[in-house]
Structure 1
Amino acid sequence: MFPDPSSKWWDRKVETLKPTEREQIILKKVKWLLKWCSDNSIFYHRFYESAGLDISSIQTLEKFAEKVPPLTKSIVRLEQMQYPPFGRILCSTDYEFVMASSGTTGRPTYVPFSQKELQSVAEAHSQIMWSFGIRPGMGILIAAMFTLYAGAWGVFLGARNMSLKIYPAGAGSPGATVNAVGAAKDLKPEILYGTPSFIRYFFEKAQELGYDPSKDFNFKIVFGSGEPGLSLPAVKRKIKKIAGEGVKVIDTGSMVEAMPWMTNAECEYENGMHLWQDFVYTEIVDRNDFTRKQFGEEGVLTYTSLVRTTYPLVRYFSGDISFWTDEMCECERTYPRLPRGIYGRSDDMIIVKGVKTFPSIIQQSVERVPAYNGEFRIVLGETAGKEYLKIIVEVTEEVWNRLSDKLYRESVEAEFRKALRDSIGLTAVVELAKPGSLERALHKAKRIVDERIITTELAKMEGGRSE
């Protein structure tokens, strides 16, 4: 049933296929999917008709990128609001399971799955988990919410298909973190899964309870999804320092709309996310005109799941920002890669004083400072008509106890300011915070506070709605 455990590939032929040969296979699937959607969905039939799309004219992937209009989150949300619960996108009523986006940027998007699709997700996730070192018989602690959120369920499906020992610790409920730490000590699983924010909190809580994760736990692989973070070298180093230098820290994940979501994933070499195009055909496009970007360029990830027919989303414009490359990885897989992972979203981009940046870029900056204690907040403010950027950053206990020395405090603040200036080109106001004073995320981190006048006025106009 499974490959030889010593093999680094699940299916070497498929994973190392020449890209031109893989593209021909993808093209056949895409052409079939376009016809299926047009024939079985009122929405797609009218959507393509209004765009003047002749499906028979799509004979290359270049034409697919050029002619097929992308779907945006706002289009899908509007469909679901006007024609609840799923909109007219639904191509089949043969569904048995419903997941949803986490709703961190507004109203959740509901996505139904058939039994056959759930099995396809399980098989895809097993193959991808194999690529970063997971093998049958290992134990996995799933420290994520078992709700409509797709992350935990996606891991569960892959783990069960792979005959792993599953410990569903959960997250977000009272006592869940302490229980998860206890399970890690008692059950000794080799794998930990959670959101990057929760993984950091998990290890922090473990140390607070008196454990040494590198000795008291048995983790060999830590992987996460749901938000940027685990591709950052500084974050990897900090987790390895706590969990053990030999632990692999793996970044994975796209979104429930692109399920199977694990098709963006680092392999055992930890040098960028592979895009497993066999399951989800992924493009990077311009955020304004949706034209496809060349390798080496930055843009927005756009997904077409090739294993879903119940609720297929074709060219789904994710909002996730990255750049891609076709340079070969040490693992010899021939998929495109995201060398820096996903490092931002088009809807969480920060623009201050005309400079564009993302929370993950700021995180990467503060992570480089030894005084940093693992949590920060971004405050966008305005005084006398001028914008400013303030970073509230937790410092370690050792540093905090020395801040009564004015010169020492100023030197720490200057170190953070320099790290930020070198990274984003702006001088920020730095406020040092007591260790543990900033709330930890039990799911995904929310770190931006926008106090600028225009933001306040817009919120008033919208009745305080954030959607």
Structure 2
Amino acid sequence: KEELRLAQAEHPPFGDYACVEESEVHHIHGTSGTTGRPTAFGISHADWRVIANEHARVMWGMGIRPSDTVFIGSFFSLYMGSWGVLSGAERLGARAFPFGAGAPGQTRRAIVWLRELRPTVFYGTPSYALHVAETAAEMGVDPREVGLRILFFSGEPGASIPSIREKIERTFGALVYDSGSMAEVSPWMNLGESTARVGMLCWQDVAYTEVCDPLTFRRVPYGAEGTPVYTTLERLSQPMVRLLSGDLTRWEAGPSPCGRTYPYLPKGIYGRIDEMFTIRGENVYPSAIDEVVTALAGYGGEHRVVISREEAMDELAVRLEFDAATKSAGEHAIETLRLHAEEQLRTVLGVGARVTLVPPGTLERTEFKARRVIDDRDLWRKDRAMGGQR
């Protein structure tokens, strides 16, 4: 991605890899630029049709049909996810409701519209779907009442984490599907589940996917873990050749029980190489913590992970909400949950974590990609470099 940013800085606005005239660009999307110079995606008319066609194929593979109404509960801004789903739903012939997300009070309005229109399909992020469910409960609405039969997601790990998937399916009474790769390789649904639900299929005729060693960039054998590398096959504007994703996954050879012969990712995309952190010699991925805490009976729906350093020793702390039932059960139940959480985290991660429980609704919810890890060790390093004075 850094190479793409540099290319656009030297050859604005779309870089020296645009491969089409600027006049041929039909859609402009991009990154937010929160971690550096924003990257612009210049997409031609022909490529927008490709995105619509291929997304419609993948959505069909999930069981979405022209008779469905697709409620799009994610940002309509630079973010390619929402626009990609809209284009696919329209091409499929389904009814699309581009509701969006992020405006004040919009989640409560979403509940009203969900009850009124009774859409059959919901798209967003897993964390936002859970936020919608919590908001519905506050309004006295059972999420099962709205009539969804499919929720599909992208943007963050979660839909392929068993405990999160099961919670969403149980809450809404619907099936969950995972999808998504990188906006730069749109059609970004080149990774997407089918009705077989064995994991995200690598739709190799949409964009060719290899799972590679992140150091050598060489393809790893089936069954091994690595990072996806993508090559677009139909893009005329800003085509990508072996673009390193930095995500983390494991792949298996096809065919899938649905009959498609693509390789697939049985656990989906479950982290990023640059999100892994090391605590006392143990490599820890945020998704592993997510899986542990969301499986706890008594989990209240949100948590935060704080990594700090005390006297040259790394410390891992987890702030965890307990649910209303645990609150009603009293202090003994809360303490039992805390001890059980610490035990489960130690067993799975191989390192101890200090768990603090907080009441339901204490931690901020998100309507986009959840960011739950705070690494304060850089502050410690700066403090030490300044002689303990900040």
Q: Give the alignment's TM-score, normalised by structure 2.
A: 0.94
Aligned to 1:87: 15
Structure 2 CA distance, aligned partners of 1:306 and 1:395? 47
Task: Answer with 171-180 or 330-339: which moved more.
Answer: 171-180
Q: Does 1:241 align with 2:170?
A: yes
- In structure 1, what residue type is equivalent to 2:240? L
CA contact (8 A) 1:160 1:166 kept: yes
- In structure 1, what residue type is equivalent to 2:111? V
Structure 2 CA distance, aligned partners of 1:177 and 1:454? 35
Q: Does 1:421 align with 2:346?
A: yes
Partner of residue 47 from structure 2, selected from 101, 104, 117: 117
Q: Does 1:218 align with 2:147?
A: yes
Q: Does 1:232 align with 2:161?
A: yes
Deviations, residues 22-77 of structure 1 (Å, cap 9, x unaligned): xxxxxxxxxxxxxxxxxxxxxxxxxxxxxxxxxxxxxxxxxxxxxxxxxxx11111
Task: Answer with 99-108 or 230-239: which moved more.
Answer: 99-108
Structure 2 CA distance, aligned partners of 1:455 and 1:329? 49
Alpha-carbon shift at residue 402 of structure 1 (Å): 4.1
Aligned to 1:388: 315
Q: Does 1:374 align with 2:301?
A: yes
Instruction: Provide the alpha-carbon RMSD of the alignment.
Output: 1.8
Alpha-carbon shift at residue 102 of structure 1 (Å): 5.0
- In structure 2, what residue type is equivalent to 1:278? D
Alpha-carbon shift at residue 453 of structure 1 (Å): 4.7
Aligned to 1:131: 61
Alpha-carbon shift at residue 137 of structure 1 (Å): 2.4
- 1:302 aligned counterpart, secondary structure: strand
1:27-426 paired onto structure 2 within 5 Å: 73-93=1-21, 94-101=24-31, 103=33, 105-214=35-144, 216-244=145-173, 247-405=174-332, 408-426=333-351
CA contact (8 A) 1:221 1:250 kept: yes
Structure 2 CA distance, aligned partners of 1:284 and 1:84? 31
CA contact (8 A) 1:223 1:251 kept: yes
Q: Does 1:445 align with 2:370?
A: yes
Alpha-carbon shift at residue 454 of structure 1 (Å): 6.1
CA contact (8 A) 1:169 1:179 kept: no
- In structure 2, what residue type is equivalent to 1:422? T
* Larger Rg belongs to: 1
CA contact (8 A) 2:309 2:315 kept: yes
**Structure 2 portions without partners, runs of 5+:** none
**Structure 1 portions without partners, runs of 5+:** 1-72, 462-467
Q: Give the alignment's TM-score, normalised by structure 1.
A: 0.79
Alpha-carbon shift at residue 236 of structure 1 (Å): 1.5
Task: Answer with 170-179 or 115-124: which moved more.
Answer: 170-179
CA contact (8 A) 1:263 1:277 kept: yes
Structure 2 CA distance, aligned partners of 1:415 and 1:101? 40
Deviations, residues 218-256 of structure 1 (Å, cap 9, x unaligned): 101000101110011111111121111xx1100110111
Residues 367 and 287 (structure 1), Cα distance of their counterparts in 2 relative to 1, 3 Å cut: same
CA contact (8 A) 1:248 1:268 kept: no
- In structure 2, what residue type is equivalent to 1:331? C
Size of the aligned set, in residue pairs, is 384
Alpha-carbon shift at residue 379 of structure 1 (Å): 0.3
Task: Answer with 192-201 or 333-342: which moved more.
Answer: 192-201
Structure 2 CA distance, aligned partners of 1:127 and 1:91? 26
Structure 2 CA distance, aligned partners of 1:178 and 1:187? 15
- In structure 2, what residue type is equivalent to 1:391? V
Alpha-carbon shift at residue 409 of structure 1 (Å): 3.7
Structure 2 CA distance, aligned partners of 1:434 and 1:104? 31
Alpha-carbon shift at residue 162 of structure 1 (Å): 1.0
Structure 2 CA distance, aligned partners of 1:360 and 1:432? 20
Residues 103 and 351 (structure 1), Cα distance of their counterparts in 2 relative to 1, 3 Å cut: farther
